[in-house]
Amino acid sequence: MILAFSIVLTITSLLLMLLVLLHKGRGGGLSDMFGGGMTSGLGGSSVAERNLDRLTVGVGIIWALSIVALGLLMKS
């Protein structure tokens, strides 16, 4: 069981890193220092951006639950 949760944790960690990097920068951070603030804002979020947000939150929840499950399994 611990091995299964460890595999889930590894996969979701890599997927979460990829999904966070796919997000569009919102400005005001370090990305503005390196030219990230020069992009033009075209208004609201697109459908793809909203779906990416939902997917990122879903993977993040699975990631957090697998950490809790691993912690409980290792404790007992």
pLDDT tens digits along 16-33: 999 999 887 766 555 555
Residue 52, domain extent: 1-20+47-76
Check residue 41 and give its pLDDT. 54
Whether residue 52 is contained in a domain is answered as yes
Query: How many domains are there within the chain?
Result: 1
Residue 58 has pLDDT above 60, yes or no: yes
Whether residue 56 is contained in a domain is answered as yes
Whether residue 27 is contained in a domain is answered as no
Which residues fall within 8 angstroms of residue 52, CB to CB, at 6 or more apart?
19, 22, 23
Residue 67 has pLDDT above 70, yes or no: yes
Which phi and psi (to 5°) does residue 12 adopt? Answer: -70, -30
Whether residue 34 is contained in a domain is answered as no
Residue 35 has pLDDT above 90, yes or no: no
Whether residue 35 is contained in a domain is answered as no
Residue 60 has pLDDT above 70, yes or no: yes
Check residue 2 and give its pLDDT. 93
